[in-house]
Structure 1
Amino acid sequence: MRIVITLGISVVVAISLSMLPKMDLSSGLGSDYTWSNNRGGQLTENNLADLLVQIPLQLRIRKVELSTSRLSLDLSLPKNAETIAVYRDLYTIAQTMLVNTKNVDQVWVRIIDYSGTVDTTSTQLVLAMVAQREFGKDMEKKPSELSLIQLEQELQNRFRITYTSKWQQKYPL
C-alpha cells in the first residue's frame, strides 16, 4: 500500500512539474525574457540582448545602457568603415528602437574611434546622434533601400547629429 501511495504522489509531482513551463508561457511571465517580433514590445534589461542581436549592424556595439525611456549605445568605428555603413547603422538603430518598442523615447548613439588605443582614456568621439520617438514614428523605408545621400538627409532632418573634427577628417565632404 505504501508503494502505491508513493508511486501515486510521484506521478502527481512529475505531472505538476511538467506543466509549470506551460503555465508560465500562458500567463505571460516568459514574455519579458525573450524578444518577440511584435510591434510595440516593452524593452527591458531582460530582453535587450535578444533585440540587439537581431539588428543587422556593420559597426560593433561596445556599450549599452537602458534607462526607463532612453537607450544609449556606443559603437566602435573600424578603420575601414564606409560612410554609408555608419549612416545605415544609425538609421537601423533609430528605426528599430523607436518603431518596434513602446517604452524607448530617446536613443543616444555615439560612434567612437577606438583604433590605436590600448586603454579607453584615449578614445575619440567621431559622431553623436540623439533620436526622439516623435521624429522617428514614420520611418518605414528599409535602410538598404536608401542611398547615402537619402540616409544622411533622413537622419539630419529627423534627429540631432553632431559631427566632430575626427569625422570631418576621416570623411571630408
Structure 2
Amino acid sequence: MGLRDLIEAKQRRTVTHPILVGNPSAAVAEIKQLSGDLVEHMRSLAAKRAAGKNPAKADTDREAKIKAALEAAQARRSEMTVDIELQSLPEDEWEAAIAELDEDAREKYDLSAILAVLTAASCTDPELQDAGWWAEQLARPTWTDGDKSSLSSTLLNLNVFAPRFEALGKG
C-alpha cells in the first residue's frame, strides 16, 4: 500500500473518555496499601533467597493473598469509571455546532452550551447518541464543573487541536 493509499484511507480519530460514576477513594487507598505490602513482601523473599533460604509455603500463600486482594481492589476501582468512545466530527458538523455559540463563547471555545449535542454526536455507541439524554445527565448535580470541563477538553483535543505526534510514535 502506497503513501497515497494510506492517506486516502485516513479514518476519523477516536478517543476513550473515562467518566467517574462512583467514589474510588477507598479502593485507591487499599491499592496503595496493598502495593506497599507486596513490595515489602517481595523484598523479604529476596532477602531470604540472598541468604540461601527457600521461601516457606506461608510466604507463597501470603504473596498469593496480597495479589488476590490487590486485584480485587483494582477491580473495585475500575468499577468506579465507565469509558465512552468518542470520534471526531466532520468539519461541517463541528462548525455548525460551534456556530450555535455566542461570539464570546466561540472566542473562548466554551462548549458548555452545546456540550450535550457535541457529546451525543461524537459517541460511537448508538445508545449514547441522544443529545436530550446527555443534556439531562450533564444538568444533574453529580456532574461537576471539572467533569464537564474534562469532557469539553476531550472534544476539543479530538476535533480542534492536532495530535502530538511525538506521543504517537510508530511502534
TM-score bucket of the superposed structures, by smaller chain: under 0.3
Q: Which has the higher helix share?
A: 2
Greater RCO structure (CA 8 Å; 6+ sep):
2
TM-score (norm 2): 0.26
TM-score (norm 1): 0.25
Q: Which has the higher strand share?
A: 1
